[in-house]
Amino acid sequence: MADSALPPTLPVSRADALHRRGLMLILSSPSGAGKTTIAKRLLAHDSQIEASVSATTRPIRPGEVDGKDYHFVNRATFDAMVEANEFYEWAEVFGNCYGTPKAHIRARLKEGGDTLFDIDWQGTQQLYQKAEADVVRVFILPPSIEELRRRLTGRGTDSAEVIAARMARAQAEISHWDGYDYVVVNDDIDACYTQICQILAAERLKRARQTGLIGFVRELTRH
Ligand code: 5GP
C-alpha cells in the first residue's frame, strides 16, 4: 500500500474531544525487523505522536540537526543534567553519553501528546521503572529465522563473521520479547503498521488516560 493511501491512525470520534493524558510508545526489535520503517510511518501520519530526542555528548555529524536528531551538549552540561535528575535514563555508549530528558516528555504527557521511543530492551526496562503507567511497550519480531538472516545479509558484501555477529545480536535482543506488553510479527509491513496503529488507538482510549471523562460523565449524570 502506498503511504499516501494509508488511513489516518484514528477515526475521529467523541472521545477525541475529551482531554487525555499522553503516553510513551516504545518500539523495540532486533535490527532487520522493520522497526525504523514503522516508526517513520507513524511519525509521518500521526500528528499526535513525536519522536523522543535524546541528549548526547557525541560530536554532531554532517547532516544532523541540533534539537531534531539529538540535543548536542558538552560533558559538563550532561553531568549537570544527570546530577539534577533530568533524565529518565542515560548510558555511556562507545565513550559518549546519551540520555532521555524528562522535561519535554512530561509536558507532552500532560498536554495529551504521545512520544515515540526507538530503544532496546535495557532502555525499555529503565523507562518502565520510571514511568510505568505512561509506558506502552511493543516488540516487533521478524517472521522467521531465514527472513531475519536475509534482511541482515544486506547487499551481500559482508563477511560470514559480520553476518553471524549480527544474527547473534538480533537473537540476544529477541530473547527479551517477554518483557513487552504487545508483540507483533512483521511478515507484512502494512499489516504490522496497522496493528501498531490499533494498539495505539486502544491505549489512547484507556479510561485512566481519558482524564476528560471525569467532567464529561459528571455532566451526563448531573440530574
Ligand atoms: P549514535 O551516536 O550512532 O546516534 O548512537 C549510538 C548509540 O546510542 C545507539 O546504540 C543508540 O541506540 C544509543 N542511544 C541513543 N540515544 C540514547 C538514549 O537516549 N539512551 C540510551 N541509553 N542510548 C541511546
pLDDT one-digit tens code per residue, 150-170? 988 877 788 899 999 999 999
Look at residue 5 and tell me whether its pLDDT is greater than 70: no
Distance CA 16, CA 175 (A): 37
Look at residue 156 and give its three-state secondary structure: coil
Look at residue 8 and tell me whether its pLDDT is greater than 80: no
Q: Which helix (H) or strand (E) holds 36?
A: helix 35-45
- The pLDDT of residue 11: 56
Q: How many angstroms separate the alpha carbon of residue 199 from the centre of ligand 1?
A: 26
Instruction: Name the average pLDDT for the chain.
Output: 92
Atom 15 of ligand 1 has which residue's CA nearest to it? 98
Does 91 sit in the ligand 1 pocket, CB within 6 Å? yes
Q: How many angstroms separate the alpha carbon of residue 64 from the centre of ligand 1?
A: 14
Q: Which of 52, 93, 120 to mutate to test the pocket of ligand 1 (most atoms within 8 A of CB)?
A: 93
Distance CA 177, CA 165 (A): 20
pLDDT digits (tens, 9 = 90+) for 95-121: 999 999 999 999 999 999 999 999 889
Does 9 sit in the ligand 1 pocket, CB within 6 Å? no
Q: Which of 119, 127, 173 to mutate to test the pocket of ligand 1 (most atoms within 8 A of CB)?
A: 119
Of 19-33, 84-98, 121-135, 143-157, minimum mean pLDDT range: 143-157
- The pLDDT of residue 158: 85
Q: How many angstroms separate the alpha carbon of residue 9 from the centre of ligand 1?
A: 28
Distance CA 104, CA 87 (A): 11
C-alpha cell at 68: 531534531
Instruction: Between 1 and 193, name the one with better pLDDT.
Output: 193
For the chain, list the domains and their CATH numbers. Answer: 15-51+112-217 (3.40.50.300)
Specify the pTM.
0.90
Distance CA 154, CA 67 (A): 31
Does 58 sit in the ligand 1 pocket, CB within 6 Å? yes
Q: How many angstroms separate the alpha carbon of residue 93 from the centre of ligand 1?
A: 7
Q: Tell which atom from ligand 1 comes closest to the C-alpha of 120.
A: 12
Q: How many angstroms separate the alpha carbon of residue 6 from the centre of ligand 1?
A: 30
Q: Which of 54, 86, 121, 127 to mutate to test the pocket of ligand 1 (most atoms within 8 A of CB)?
A: 54
Closest C-alpha among 71, 30, 32 to residue 52? 71
